[in-house]
Structure 1
Amino acid sequence: MSTVATAPDLADLPTGVGGYATPEFGPLIRTFARLMGGQPGAGGALTVHLHGTPLVEIWAGESAPATPWTADTGAIVFSATKGIAATVIHRLADRGLIDYDTPVAAYWPEFAANGKERITVRHLLSHRAGLSGLPDIAAGLDDILDHQLMEQRLAAAKPDHLLGTPTYHALTYGWLLAGLARAVTGRGMAELFRTEIAEPLGTDGIHLGRPPATSATTAATMHGGRLGFVGTTYVSLVLGRAYSLPGALGAAARALFLPGLEDFLEGDIPPILDTELPAGNGVCTATGLATLYGALANGGMSQGRRFLSPATMKTMRHIETYSLDHALMYFPMMWRMGYHSLPMPGARAGFGHIGLGGSFGWADPNRGLSVGFVHNRLSLSSLTTDQLASAWVLPLVVRGARSARRTTQLPASRAA
């Protein structure tokens, strides 16, 4: 058993697992320990809040070789960043600075170029802006790393034939929202993550890019082969030729692939940490994500304070389109404005966003339940299993929550 101090209302934790959890979540804890521990240099964390009360905050493994994971370890959460960026836009809309059905160009005049004058904020938030493709706006990694350049090029870009059709904007989503937010506030998304999300929620566990030196949050080193296989000559050739294919294969290739993009993740200090990519380089702790989605799961309230109005929460929960996504192999994403659902047990009533490798934040408003799950593994051998982590996390979370005691007291202090 772990050395974490226990109390009558807390579960004993398996060896190698730190933190705390209430006894109802035993199956979740054991599964987490089995799947997240035991690989040198790899680890992860999981947090569950019920009506804002933390019932599970556990971690296991290493954030880097010989460096234990802690409560303050953050991981790159990839596309789970999109849900945070969308929440920034909802915060601005909540204050009347943005209207969902107003054309983006009303706030960002440059965006009207090339026939985009009628694209609305709602289109942007629900992946229907017809601007998912990378090849027309970027030549390689240097372009991708210049986030303001990407905002400018998207403002000047021409929408493709999928305008109005749900088509996952894998990378462009973040720059589009950042350009809109910059036009309205004069500030970049990294600052807005802090002022609109982290500070109002009282969490240090949400950052865009590398956490500052003053933050308690440290970024875990990525573990595994990452995406190096994409850069091989054969794979690059196939993906490059796929740009012109009709249907989902072509749309996915255009949205996800650019020669040299795999170098984004290379090294102990990968370049992805040193830009603002609101579609993919959030660095979050599990508790940071659970705190954010806790506000979304509880009517816009967090720790007794109003984070979003009831009217905005109602709008956010609305499913914008049931159409199959054209860049995600026609998967039924059930896009809301910035979030998706999942057609599986434990997830149908909720919404959130899953990132590459399986890290995610999730809200279940019907239960007042929120979840944050992060880890630092990214390799071809385990990618499929890790990507489907929500398939075991969410059902076990719901199972535990159904029998959890609804206490308003925090569990025992978390261990260092």
Structure 2
Amino acid sequence: MDPEFAPLVRALELYVPLRGPGGAALSVHHRGQLVADIAIGTRDRAGAPMEPDTLVMCLSTAKGVTATLLHIVADRGELDLDAPVARYWPEFAQGGKGGITVSELVSHRAGLYAVRPLIDQIEDIYDWPRMVEALARAAPAHAPGRDFGYHAWTFGWLVGELLQRATGASFTDLLRECIAEPLGLEGLYIGLPEHERARVAQTIEWGSTKLGFSTPGGSGRLRRAAGASVEVAGRAARALGLRFDPSDMVGAMLPRGLSSLDLNSPVFLRAVIPSLNGVFDARSLSRLYAALAGGGELDGVRLMSRAAIERARADQNVGLGRVIPFPLRVKMGYHRPISLGLRVSVRGRSKDLGIASADAFGHFGLGGSGAWADPERELGVAVVTNCFAGRLPADLRTVGVCTAAAFAADRRAR
């Protein structure tokens, strides 16, 4: 490990509990060089150690990988970001969606975030034709392009089907041929192959392997109380003039039967759900984002042009969206990482120490995994974890890693 990046060990320790199972791995590339590659804690409840090449199911971290694949395909001329999605996927024009563009779709501006109306049981998420047909028939929740709502589940089927229609290749083949093979990545999967199952860490989530959200099927009293709480919160948000609507959040984030979804089940891991079941090791994610931080190239391998990256990382929305009450600074399939630090001025030049630059982009998943590129610093960082809470709760842990990585890169650059 480069000495300047040694403080990241302390930041990574916040990911794991003081007692009990859980682990995390962190990989950092700076200026094209691997400068940190560490793992701590356990990969399962039995106490097996987490390793740098351990595969971890990273939930929405997959969206950033899926978005990168789309931008590579577009940069090759097989997809026009300004074209209507229906040019490639004619059935998509149903429900008044004929004018939705590829850029609006990948930027969460299509208004197709509601997943609850699309499925009857959680097992429906494994049926790709069913999900894409339902989305093709769906009507947007708002005028496309005029608002923003995080497509927590639907992003993967929408962007994945678009890619398949535009190229004629399967999503998994595209991921392998466009990203994994050129960069020599041995831990980048959306749709885990059977031969890699032994490398996968056990997801440890609040004492269970299931997401544990309360969904219909619980007591009628609890459902009525939850519904009343959503309505009250919605009225409060509207009174404050916020775009966020709790009912949109429920519709986008909580499909029917979610409480029975086992994140460790073989059927979930091998399914292709490009919005949320990516299985990655930190080293592969870091290497991918190092290429993006380096203008689209790493070790002589060019994934996409600098112009494509400039467009991909441009802000598409600021402020609160309709689904998540947090300013994500959404870009074209990515969002800006969150960090803390100080703004200083040296010789008339302003510098953000420890703060992820305005150019930084990536994607994080519920539970703490995530990866991002910081082109200003030529920094690619990835952290993967199999436990939803450590010495800091859930996603707050990523703030510490983002901050420590930025400070370390600034020190090393000096």
CA contact (8 A) 2:15 2:385 kept: no
Matched, 1:257 2:254: yes
Q: Cα offset for 1:397?
A: 0.8
Q: TM-score, normalised by structure 2?
A: 0.86
How many residues were matched structurally? 381
How far did residue 377 of structure 1 move?
Answer: 0.8
Mapping of residues 29-44 of structure 1, within 5 Å: 29-33=9-13, 35-36=15-16, 39-44=19-24
CA-CA distance at 1:343 after TM superposition = 5.2
Residue 240 of structure 2 corresponds to which residue in structure 1?
Answer: none
- Identify if the C-alpha distance between structure 1 residues 236 and 318 changes in structure 2 by more than 3 Å, giving closer, same or farther: same
Partner in structure 1 of residue 347 of structure 2? none
1:100 CA displacement: 0.7
User: Which stretch shifts more, 78-87 or 153-162?
Assistant: 153-162
Match 2:356 to one of 331, 347, 357: 347
The residue type equivalent to 2:83 in the other structure is T
The 1-side partners of 2:382 and 2:151 are apart by 23
Please say if residues 265 and 271 of structure 1, whose CA atoms lie closer than 8 Å, have aligned partners that are also in contact: no
Instruction: Give CA deviations for 1:57-106 in whole Å, capped at 9, x if unaligned.
Output: 00011111232212221111111100000111111101101111100000
CA contact (8 A) 1:217 1:285 kept: no
Residue identity matched to 2:378: G
Report deviation, 1:253: 0.6
**Deviation (angstroms), 1:235:** 5.7
CA distance in 2 between counterparts of 1:311 and 1:88 reads: 15
What is the CA-CA distance between 1:388 and the residue it aligns to? 1.4
**Once superposed, what is the RMSD of the aligned Cα atoms?**
2.3
SS in 1 for 2:393: helix
CA–CA separation in structure 2 for the residues paired with 1:239 and 1:180:
36
* 1:283 has 2:263 as partner: no
The alignment status of 1:167 with 2:154, answered yes or no, reads no
Pick aligned residue for 2:305 from 305, 309, 334: 309
Residues 1:384 and 1:27: Cα distance change in structure 2 (over 3 Å): closer
**Inter-partner Cα distance in structure 2 for 1:305 and 1:199:** 11
Q: CA deviation at 1:202?
A: 1.0
The 1:384–1:131 alpha-carbon spacing in structure 2 relative to 1, beyond 3 Å, is farther
Check the 8 A contact 2:114/2:251 in 1, yes or no.
Answer: yes
> Would you say the 8 A contact 2:25–2:39 is kept in 1?
yes
Asked whether the equivalents of residues 80 and 354 of structure 1 are also in contact (C-alpha less than 8 Å), the reply is yes
Report how far residue 306 of structure 1 moved.
1.2
Residue number in structure 2 paired with 1:118? 99
Of 54, 65, 83 in structure 2, the residue corresponding to residue 102 of structure 1 is: 83
Match of 1:203 among 166, 185, 195: 185
Alpha-carbon distance change, 237 to 302 in structure 1, aligned in 2, over 3 angstroms: farther
How far off its partner does 1:151 sit? Answer: 1.3
For residues 10-40 of structure 1, what are the alpha-carbon distances to aligned partners after superposition, in whole Å with 9 as ceiling and x for unaligned? xxxxxxxxxxx22112222133235436544
Paired residues of 1:132 and 1:172 also in contact (CA < 8 A): yes
Residues 264 and 270 in structure 1, CA contact (< 8 A), matched pair in contact too: no
Residue number in structure 2 paired with 1:23: 3
Partner of 2:74: 93
Q: Name the CA shift for 1:39/1:148 in 2 (closer, same or farther; >3 Å).
A: farther
> Structure 1 vs Structure 2: percent identity of aligned residues?
36
TM-fit CA distance, 1:304: 1.6
Q: Is 1:152 matched up with 2:162? A: no
Amino acid in the other structure paired with 2:247? G
Q: Shift in Å at residue 128 of structure 1?
A: 0.5
2:343 alignment counterpart:
none
Tell me the equivalent position of 1:53: 33
The alignment partner of 2:383 has SS state of: strand
User: In the alignment, does 2:401 pair up with 1:393?
Assistant: yes
Give a deviation string over 1:240-275, Cα, whole Å, max 9, x none. Answer: 677875742011111001221122225x42642131
Q: CA deviation at 1:161?
A: 2.4
Change (3 A) 1:265 1:328: same
CA 239–180 in structure 1, closer or farther in 2 if over 3 Å, else same: farther
One-letter amino acid of the structure 2 residue matched with residue 101 of structure 1: D
1:337 corresponds to: 332
Matched, 1:74 2:69: no
SS in 1 for 2:336: coil
**Residue matched to 1:297:** 293
Q: Please give the alpha-carbon distance, in whole angstroms, between the structure 1 residues aligned to 2:24 and 2:224.
A: 34
Cα distance in 2 between the residues matched to 1:124 and 1:291: 26
SS in 1 for 2:118: coil
2:387 equivalent among 348, 372, 377: 377
Matched with 2:371 is 361
Contact 1:72 1:216 in 2 (8 A): no
Specify the SS of the correspondent of 1:386: coil
Distance 2:357 2:164 in 1: 34
Deviations 1:257-306 (A, max 9, x none): 1221122225x426421311100000011111111111110100111221
Query: Structure 1 residues 248 and 142, CA, compared in 2 at 3 Å: closer, same or farther?
Result: same
Per-residue CA deviation, residues 157-176 of structure 1 (Å, 9 max, x unaligned), is 11112532110000000100
| Structure-2 separation of matches of 1:361 and 1:321 | 20
Q: Where does structure 2 lack aligned partners over 5 or more consecutive residues?
A: 236-243, 341-354
